[in-house]
């Protein structure tokens, strides 16, 4: 059975207490299945507490970060390098539109980050905005997130909250697989909720979802996971 990825992108949200409450609610509800890859991506400041709580509870949850340094460890004040993050994470979201927009991340920096992730044996989840976003060689997991579909605006203003048409998302996924090989896994992201997740997951070419706003609420996220499994 093909993998089903459900990735929670908390963005810049949640205190340690809120994060642990979420793990305590969601963890016990996730079934241990080989095909199911449920990943929670907290802020750096709560990563280690979240990781510990998942280990203590023996929950089948993977941990991810939302960015990493384009450099190796060393004299790079303020940076989180892949080789150090490997202690805590399995996956890293790389090149999210909010980072491209607010921090001026370039395709070259993003490629460097993907290389660092791969060298540290961290799965790089590259966010692409459309057909024109370059996918570096060797990248195995991407998330198609059209800017117009992200539930908040890129500068934290209200967004459209309108998800992409699932058929369009599927044709973009097909395009990337034709370009980069059928082993490439393609997720969809942008205003995914418990109500609409099935429409995306039921598309043959879509291998999962990247969920922002709706992942913050434990009950809603559990619903997303359940509905996604039903739709797979």
| 108-147 footprint of ligand PGA as x/- string (CB under 6 A) | -------------------------------------x--
User: Could you tell me the smallest distance in angstroms from the CB atom of residue 161 to ligand PGA?
Assistant: 8
Catalytic residue among 80, 96, 98, 105: 96
Task: State the residue number with the nearest CB to ligand PGA.
Answer: 212
Smallest CA-to-CA distance from 125 within 55, 40, 200 is with 40
Tell me whether residue 207 or residue 213 sits nearer to ligand PGA (CB atom).
213
Which residues are 189's β-sheet partners? 210
Phi, psi of 51 (to 5 degrees): -60, -45
Residues 6+ apart with CB under 8 A from 176: 128, 131, 135, 142, 144, 184, 186
Tell me whether residue 24 or residue 161 sits nearer to ligand PGA (CB atom).
161
Tell me whether residue 162 or residue 178 sits nearer to ligand PGA (CB atom).
162
Q: For 60-174, where are the E strands, in sequence order?
A: 62-65, 91-94, 123-128, 141-144
Torsion of CA 154, 129, 201, 198, to 10 degrees: 30
Residues 1-40 that bind ligand PGA (CB under 6 A): 9
Instruction: Verify whether residue 180 is a known catalytic residue.
Output: no
Instruction: Verify whether residue 185 is a known catalytic residue.
Output: no
Binds ligand PGA (CB under 6 A): choice among 53, 126, 210, 225: 210
Q: How far apart are CA 131 and CA 142, in angstroms?
A: 12
User: Could you tell me the smallest distance in angstroms from the CB atom of residue 92 to ligand PGA?
Assistant: 13
Answer yes or no whether residue 64 interacts with ligand PGA by CB under 6 A: no
Residues 167-206 that bind ligand PGA (CB under 6 A): 189-192
Binds ligand PGA (CB under 6 A): choice among 61, 123, 139, 150: 150
- Token pair for 123: 């799965």
Beta strands at 141-144 and 123-128: parallel, antiparallel or unpaired: parallel
Based on its alpha-carbon atoms, the radius of gyration of the chain, rounded to whole angstroms, reads 16
Catalytic residue among 145, 164, 185, 227: 145
Tell me whether residue 104 or residue 158 sits nearer to ligand PGA (CB atom).
158
Helices (H), 107-186: 107-119, 166-180
Residues in touch with ligand PGA (CB under 6 A): 9, 145, 150-152, 189-192, 210-214
């Amino acid at each position: 059975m093909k993998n089903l990825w459900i990735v929670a992108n908390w963005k810049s949200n949640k205190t340690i207490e809120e994060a642990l409450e979420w793990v305590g609610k969601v963890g016990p509800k996730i079934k241990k299945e080989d095909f199911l890859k449920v990943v929670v991506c907290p802020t750096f400041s709560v990563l280690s507490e979240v990781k510990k709580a998942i280990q203590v509870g023996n929950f089948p949850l993977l941990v991810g970060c939302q960015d990493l340094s384009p450099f190796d460890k060393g004299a790079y004040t303020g940076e989180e390098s892949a080789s150090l993050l490997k202690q805590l994470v399995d996956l890293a979201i790389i090149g999210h539109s909010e980072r491209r927009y607010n921090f001026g991340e370039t395709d070259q920096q993003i490629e460097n980050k993907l290389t660092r992730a791969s060298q540290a044996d961290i799965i790089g989840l590259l966010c692409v905005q459309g057909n024109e976003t370059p996918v570096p060689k060797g990248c195995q997991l991407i998330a198609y997130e059209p800017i117009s579909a992200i539930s908040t605006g890129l500068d934290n203003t209200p967004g459209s909250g309108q998800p992409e048409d699932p058929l369009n998302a599927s044709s973009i996924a097909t395009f990337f697989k034709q370009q980069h090989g059928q082993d490439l896994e393609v997720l969809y992201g942008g205003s995914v909720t418990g109500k609409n997740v099935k429409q995306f997951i039921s598309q043959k070419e879509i291998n999962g979802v990247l969920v922002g706003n709706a992942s913050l609420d434990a009950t809603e996220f559990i619903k997303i996971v359940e509905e996604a499994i039903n739709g797979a």
